[in-house]
Structure 1
Amino acid sequence: MSGGGGGGGSSNSANCEMCGWLWAIGGMLAFGSFGVPVKSKVAISLDIDPLVMQSYKTGMCFITSWLFLWIRGEEITFTPMGLVSGLFWVPGGVATIYAIKTAGLAIGIGVGSSFIVLVSFSWGIFFFDEHVHSRVQACSAVACMLCGLGGMAYYSSPTVAHHRHASSTAEDGGGGGGGGGGDYYQPIRPDDDDFLPPDDEDDSFGYIRIQERTLGILAALFITGLWGGSMMVPMEFAPNIDKGLPFLTSFAIGATIVTICLWTIRYIYIVIFKTNNYCFGEAYNALPSFHFKQMWPYGMTCGLLWSIGNFCSILSVEFLGEGVGYSSTQASMLISGLWGIFYFNEIEGSNAIFKWYLSASVTVLGILLLSYEHHEP
């Protein structure tokens, strides 16, 4: 094994690392596209509930996990760490869908991705002591990625494009001028007593007026990013036999259990606070519909794309480590931003598009720098 094997070992190591980056690119493509069905005309017309869409994702994750293991010929195992991982992923997934619906595909995924990079890299480098050439330079590479992702998120914002469009039309005497982002910022539903004061009250003390788009961004930041960014960490604490692809089944089972628990909690909440005399039938009817007849192709596609991204990200982490592998797949905003520009027209105006591409270039530079910093011990 050892005699004359130095060059071969180096070659195998390089090949493994190349495989890791190829899997990371696959994860980027899939993670950047899974939100497209959420923005489909059917989903928008039905105002699909985020937990419903997440349930489609969870269902496809459960189905495909067995399929992926069968294709790879992996042994089926189970570890409770999969349940812990599901506790991070499912709430983060619901928040991502809510952010996509209210803030847009590019910025919804972008804000979450930026903080997922920060969280997963911090776990990998500072907690698991993964090897890099220089921690300072590796942190600088992540900072470069975050700056690029932040710029991409900012120039993906419809208010930026709207502001520039309004400025140009104002010179022509066009309408809008001071309209600002009125077409893009939607207030919380007027019938929501938890947020808006009654019309006959002048004093709004004790109530919150906040825009849904802002709530979406905050959900992507705190729930998707800071909370969901740790979803791959439990795999590092699993027994060696359960790490890598075998972790898929544990993760899928854990995510399914967590999703069922969220539905149960929501049902109990409706029974207690939204019905008269704890009417269980009324509470069941108040649950959001799955609209299965119309939504199954979109929900299944969303879940399948995410599952492929998860499959790729696990292999990327296996080859490159938590800090580099999973962080790199979160450059999926490059893909979601392209969807936003060319398909959903979320970014308008050549100036905003140019600056988005400039920010994207900074993100790619950060990924390349991070690639250079990673090395085997």
Structure 2
Amino acid sequence: MDVGGFFVAILAALFNGSFGIFSKIKRVQDAEVPPPIFNFWTCIGIIISSLPFLFLHQVFTPLGLLSGVFFVISMACTIFAIQFLGLSSAAGLWCGTAVVVSFTFGVKALGDTIQQPSLAAPGLVLLIGGIAGIALNGEVVARRRQNEETLREEQEGDGEVEMGGGEDPLLSSENAKKKRTRTSLLGLATAVVAGIFGGLVLAPMDFAAEEAKGLAYIPSMGIGVLIAAPLLTLAFMALGQAPFQLYTKAAALPGILAGIIWNAGNVCSILATRNPNIGLSIAYPIMQAGLLFAGLWGILLYRELQNREQIGYWLSSIVLIAGVTMLASSK
């Protein structure tokens, strides 16, 4: 195991799990900034933090544009997946999908060599299991909060219900069931697509010219984000998913900082994938372990998990860490 390359991959996971905390700060929450708008400012942060690399590496590859577009598509799908399934379930699905896609593509398409398949296979299973456990634990918490909110709303509305009003309860229940099924299927589809494109964000780099690989690849990718992000934001606005305003005062600075942190993780991912002892098949699955750090920030900063709920998080984290260690040791 290459300790240095493994450490850089872990740093990528740390940054990947940390950029989302900026969307939860008070000024953003108080302004009720829509996710597509915050995502726009995150993309601006990625573009800004890509500029210094342009002065260091003045090369361009169209494949970088493809990576930028892949990133924006993945982010768009995550927004819809969260809307349909909730953050925890959606994150578990797209992270798990990204692990499988990046590992498979790295081994099958790029020829990454796995020295010890007997460690890689169970390591991959444990990594996905840990991600699923953390996501499931978050879903339990989300449902508890939703039930508490629903109960509170019902208690407040007890005195407002009129006898004989409204539609047939059986018809209402059937319509609600169909709506939940449709929503779940849409959530599943968008989460899987987010994972597919997310797992392939850096894949085009391996087909670029040698001088355009590594850190020299970042400006081209930033240009791809620059082209795709405004188009995506306008599409969300046109579809009624976001208002025609950018919430500049509330969202600009936090969103840009989130983009800079994400790009720091992207830099670490590139360095790790360029390491012959790590590669895409190992580096990108480890990056998805950022869900562990996201949960940790939720505990430390926002007290999202109560005492009993933390048990599931820590047990899943142990499984995830075991999977990451086995996967890294397989190279």
TM-score in terms of structure 1 length: 0.73
**Within-5 A mapping of 1:246-285:** 246-266=216-236, 269=238
CA–CA distance in structure 1, aligned partners of residues 23 and 98 of structure 2: 21
1:314 counterpart (249, 264, 270): 270
My pick for the range that moved more, 364-373 or 335-344, is 335-344
Judging by fraction of residues, say which structure has more helix: 2
Q: 1:322 to 1:289 in 2, by over 3 A?
A: same
Question: 2:282 matched to which residue of 1?
Answer: 324
**Within-5 A mapping of 1:77-96:** 77-96=59-78
**Within-5 A mapping of 1:280-319:** 287-319=243-275
Question: 2:310 matched to which residue of 1?
Answer: 353
Deviation at 1:103?
6.3
CA–CA distance in structure 1, aligned partners of residues 62 and 112 of structure 2: 24
Q: 1:87 to 1:303 in 2, by over 3 A?
A: same
Contact 1:145 1:365 in 2 (8 A): yes
Residues 128-181 of structure 1: CA deviation (Å, up to 9, x unaligned): 121111335312211110011111111122447839xxxxxxxxxxxxxxxx83
Task: Tell me whether 1:223 sits opposite 2:193 in the alignment.
Answer: yes
CA–CA distance in structure 1, aligned partners of residues 86 and 254 of structure 2: 17
1:340 counterpart (282, 286, 298): 298
Deviation at 1:291?
0.8
CA–CA distance in structure 1, aligned partners of residues 91 and 176 of structure 2: 32
- Over the matched positions of the two proteins, sequence identity in percent amounts to 27
Contact 2:46 2:256 in 1 (8 A): no
Q: Which runs of 4+ in 1 moved over 6 A?
A: 101-104, 203-207
Deviation at 1:295?
1.6
CA–CA distance in structure 2, aligned partners of residues 211 and 289 of structure 1: 33
Deviation at 1:247?
0.7
Question: 1:156 matched to which residue of 2?
Answer: 138
Question: 2:149 matched to which residue of 1?
Answer: 183
Aligned-residue RMSD, C-alpha: 3.2
Deviation at 1:287?
4.0
TM-score in terms of structure 2 length: 0.82
Contact 1:159 1:184 in 2 (8 A): no
**Within-5 A mapping of 1:109-128:** 109-128=91-110
- 2:77 maps to amino acid: A
Q: 1:26 to 1:289 in 2, by over 3 A?
A: same
Deviation at 1:105?
5.8
Q: 1:287 to 1:317 in 2, by over 3 A?
A: same
Residues 101-147 of structure 1: CA deviation (Å, up to 9, x unaligned): 78666555443222211111111012212111133531221111001
CA–CA distance in structure 2, aligned partners of residues 159 and 139 of structure 1: 31
- Give the number of equivalent residue pairs: 311
Equivalent residue of 1:157, what SS?
helix
CA–CA distance in structure 1, aligned partners of residues 16 and 116 of structure 2: 29
Contact 1:328 1:367 in 2 (8 A): yes
1:369 counterpart (302, 326, 329): 326
Residues 50-108 of structure 1: CA deviation (Å, up to 9, x unaligned): 222221121111111122455xxx42211111121122110212333555678666555
Contact 2:119 2:329 in 1 (8 A): no
Residues 245-272 of structure 1: CA deviation (Å, up to 9, x unaligned): 11101100011111133245456x56xx
CA–CA distance in structure 1, aligned partners of residues 233 and 122 of structure 2: 42
> Mind listing any 5+ residue stretches in structure 2 that lack a counterpart?
152-165
- 2:320 maps to amino acid: T
Q: 1:160 to 1:96 in 2, by over 3 A?
A: closer
> Mind listing any 5+ residue stretches in structure 1 that lack a counterpart?
1-13, 164-179, 186-198, 275-285
Question: 1:236 matched to which residue of 2?
Answer: 206
- 2:149 maps to amino acid: D
Contact 1:52 1:288 in 2 (8 A): no
My pick for the range that moved more, 125-134 or 42-51, is 42-51
Residues 270-328 of structure 1: CA deviation (Å, up to 9, x unaligned): 6xxx8xxxxxxxxxxx8432110122221112111111111111111111211011211
CA–CA distance in structure 2, aligned partners of residues 145 and 367 of structure 1: 6
Contact 1:162 1:348 in 2 (8 A): no
Relative contact order higher in (CA < 8 Å, ≥ 6 apart): 2
Question: 2:111 matched to which residue of 1?
Answer: 129
- 1:35 maps to amino acid: G
Contact 1:39 1:101 in 2 (8 A): no
